[in-house]
Structure 1
Amino acid sequence: MNHATRKLCLILSLALAGTAAHAQDAAAQTAAASEPAAAAATSALVGAPPEGKGQIVFFRPSKFAGAAVGFVVREGETDLGKLRSGNYFIAAVEPGTHQYTVHSEAKDVLTLEVEAGETYYVQGSIAMGFMVGRPNLSPSDQAAFDAAAPKLKLSK
């Protein structure tokens, strides 16, 4: 390769490296700008708890495995809502200790200590059981809900 060709290759390499760095900076700025938008979208889905109460967002991310199986979340004898794949619902509750149950062939119980003005997140899932899927409730967080939110629908 002659000297002029090497010089041209070096110039092109530097130009491409600068363009790649600029593209990465632009992508980082776009991602940072979209975070408040995602938080606002979640706030629109969830909102604030009623005065003097806490709220629990029960959600089940959309997945193919176990999609045909839904389960009812209960507190004592009261049905709070049904979770199917890709659904969520919100329960406003009095402050204090609450036990939420789901069951099919097996029973799962989640105990939460709820404070007034706070929002809690609970993720539902299905594990393999002997005859049918085994529902499970586990504590979660807003980040997990935010990640699943674009594919979630409010449970009926």
Structure 2
Amino acid sequence: MRSMLSRTAILSLLLVPAFAIANEGDAATATTATTTAPAATANTLIQAAPADKAQIVFFRESKFVGAAIGFKVREGENELGKLRSGKYFVANVEPGKHEYNVHGETKDVLTMEVEAGETYYVLGSLGMGIVAGRPNLSPSDEATFVSMSGKLKLAK
């Protein structure tokens, strides 16, 4: 019985370094995959902005909470598109100052100064309201859009 315990102990001591070596190899592979992943997740949904116009990408994260509520993004009285959960749309606009607004239980206005040939990102979100959600527009970036792009669909 004692010799069997000795053999088990020795075998365990020999296997632990083997597992450690195998895990180091897995960690090296994971590190390589992590460093190559950003190149694979490039922005494939949005084309380059036209040279004479600015391009603004309005998007909203896909969430279950508030999924039934959509809101229209407007510039003045002109409706640019409707943001629902998990949707995005692109607006090509003239360079200069613009004010975008959304209405719900409250009104939110986002003022932007845009330049020709540039792409800008705006995140739409829905806050808590008394009767319905409170829409909000906030500046964002390409990295945030790309991180959500797997679940986003073009709004119609």
1:33 aligns with 2:36: yes
- Unmatched 5+ residue regions in structure 2? none
Q: Structure 1 residue 25: deviation in Å?
A: 1.4
Aligned to 1:12: 15
CA distance in 2, matches of 1:135, 1:152: 18
CA distance in 1, matches of 2:109, 2:53: 22
Instruction: Decide which moves more: 20-29 or 53-62.
Output: 20-29
Q: How many residues end up aligned between the 2 structures?
A: 152
Aligned to 1:154: 154
Matches within 5 A, 1:65-84: 65-84=65-84
| Structure 1 segments of 4+ aligned residues over 6 angstroms from their partners | none
CA distance in 1, matches of 2:147, 2:141: 10
RMSD: 1.3
Q: Structure 1 residue 5: deviation in Å?
A: 4.4
CA distance in 1, matches of 2:151, 2:8: 52
Aligned to 2:57: 57
CA distance in 1, matches of 2:14, 2:92: 63
Amino acid at match of 1:89: F
Summarize deviations over 1:79-129 as a string: whole Å, max 9, x none. 101000000001111111111000112000011111122111111011111
* Greater Cα radius of gyration, structure 1 or 2: 2
Aligned to 2:107: 107
SS in structure 1 at match of 2:92: strand
CA distance in 1, matches of 2:50, 2:126: 30
CA distance in 2, matches of 1:115, 1:95: 5
SS in structure 2 at match of 1:27: helix
How does the TM-score come out when normalised to structure 1? 0.92
- Unmatched 5+ residue regions in structure 1? none
Amino acid at match of 1:24: A
CA distance in 2, matches of 1:48, 1:92: 11
Percent identity of paired positions between Structure 1 and Structure 2: 57
CA distance in 2, matches of 1:32, 1:102: 39
SS in structure 1 at match of 2:45: helix
